[in-house]
Amino acid sequence: RVRAIVLARGSASSHAAILARSYGIPMLTGAGTSVLDIAEGTLLAVDGARGELVVAPTEEVRNDVRGRIARRERDAAAVRTAAIGPATTTDGVEVAVLANVASVVDARAGVAAHADGSGLVRTELLFLGRERAPDRDEQEGVYRAVAEAFGGRRVVLRTLDAGGDKPLPFLTQPHEENPFLGVRGVRLTLRHPDLMLDQLVAMCRVAHDHPISVMLPMVSTVEEVLAARVLLDQACHEAGGRAESLRFGIMVEVPVAALKSASLAPHVDFFSVGTNDLTQYALAAERGNSGVAQLTDGLDPGVLALIAALCTGAGDVPVSVCGELAADPDAVGLLIGLGVRSLSVVAPAVPGVKQRVRAASVSAARGLAERALTCAGAAEVRDLVRSSVPSG
Ligand code: PEP
Ligand code: MG
């Protein structure tokens, strides 16, 4: 029943914003503290796409907004119907368009939006707000239900990405001054090998019946990857052997991981760029802080240069993007031009991204990406993309 959310603070790449987007709920962030003074019961008109808020709108404004909603719903329905089947560029390159999910309900929404699979299952939602970790059987049940919803399409299960802004009550962590630079993601799970092993065993069991990829968050070093692989081998053994279709990959969220992709590549089957974190770390601007929200644009040429370096170093290892940038209409063509061949986005964004892919050509996108890398800033990159139809 929630029609829209308006936040005084916050930013568009916070986890709250990502959840709202996955439910298709319009949300404005960083609207300023004056919104806290709006009287209870006041009608608001919110246009998430335009970033507009009208307090106590007149009848004329209300009619205008209703018209916009109806038009957008009609357009979205048409784009959704057209989203059936694979997305191929005009020069014949297939780009997988996948759904990011955090639950079985999200997985069903992804399938309904014609996603080609899931490029990111945020498993931590299963762990948050609990007194102890879910056991192997419970985890297996949830991962299996998500995989079943996708009916044979590949599902990428990310290992627990707690810490940072997602603390876990049952893993006592000492206070950290900078939790985003602290013990989070794979750094945390490697310090709790029993917890990590339980999760990997649950994933390996499901992999016997469904195409599953296991993905590590927040990787910074080759040693972390090797340590996790040892645990994965043990988990496969405990799950009755390694399924032939099981794949293993890492997220690229820490800038040095992008720069070290050639050293990491021999140890993984795929890379997936988490642009939300990659952008916050590259620009030293926290993703949930409205004071620096202007800085956290994944189209900053420096962030694009990191993705370009990753793709070059990756060689034949496929590169995907599962951060919010993958759903940014200005970014789709650029990412394809940089060498990305799968995009994982919130379910409501799947049809629009497929439409973008089908309008792009790899050869034109490559030229565009090269020029974007020479731009001075994100605004210039956006101008460049918008002036170069149709590859953007
Ligand atoms: C990312 O960092 O881009 C990402 C996909 O992971 P999360 O948003 O869950 O941190
Ligand atoms: Mg992340």
Tell me: pLDDT of 264 over 90. Answer: yes
Taking only the tens place, the pLDDT of each residue in 37-63 is: 999 999 999 998 888 999 999 999 999
Question: What tens digit of pLDDT does each residue of 312-360 get?
Answer: 999 999 999 999 999 999 999 999 999 999 999 999 999 999 999 999 9
Ligand nearest to the CA of 98: 1
Q: What is the mean pLDDT of residues 280-288?
A: 95
Structure tokens at 361: 């050509």
Q: What is the pLDDT of residues 114-151, one digit of tens each?
A: 999 999 999 998 998 888 999 999 999 999 999 999 99
In this prediction the pTM is 0.93
Q: Determine the Cα–Cα distance for residues 62 and 56; give it in Å rounded to an integer.
A: 9
Q: Cα–Cα distance between 392 and 386 in angstroms, integer?
A: 7
pLDDT score recorded for residue 25: 92
**What percentage of residues in the chain have a pLDDT greater than 70?**
99
The answer to whether residue 374 scores a pLDDT higher than 60 is: yes
pLDDT at 113 over 60: yes
Q: In the structure, what pLDDT confidence band is assigned to residue 79 with cuts at 50, 70 and 90?
A: confident
- pLDDT (0 to 100) of residue 175: 87
Find the mean pLDDT for residues 8-14: 86
pLDDT of residue 391: 44
Local confidence band at 378 (pLDDT 50, 70, 90 cut-offs) = very high
Task: Tell whether the model's pLDDT for residue 392 goes beyond 50.
Answer: no
Ligand 1 residue neighbourhood (C-beta within 6 Å): 18, 120, 122, 161, 253, 274-277, 322-323
- 166 alpha carbon, closest ligand: 1
- Ligand 1 probe mutation, 215, 275, 277, 343, most atoms within 8 A of CB: 277
**Catalytic site residue from 15, 192, 208, 267:** 15
Please answer whether residues 317 and 271 qualify as being in contact, where contact means their C-beta atoms are separated by less than 8 angstroms.
yes
Confidence of residue 390 (pLDDT cuts 50, 70, 90): low
Whose CA is closest to 213, among 342, 332, 83?
Answer: 342
Q: Tens digits of per-residue pLDDT, 160-188?
A: 999 887 878 888 678 899 999 999 999 99
**Residue 237: per-residue pLDDT:** 98
Catalytic residue list contains 311: no
> Does the active-site annotation cover 267?
no
pLDDT value of position 147: 98
257 has a pLDDT exceeding 80: yes
What is the overall mean pLDDT for the chain?
A: 94
* Atom 3, ligand 1: residue with shortest CA distance: 274
Catalytic residue among 204, 236, 311, 322: 322
Taking the centre of ligand 2 as the mean of its atom positions, its distance from the CA of residue 277, in whole angstroms, is: 5
Q: What is the pLDDT of residues 190-237, one digit of tens each?
A: 999 999 999 999 999 999 999 999 999 999 999 999 999 999 999 999
**Number of Cβ atoms within 10 Å of the Cβ of 15:** 17
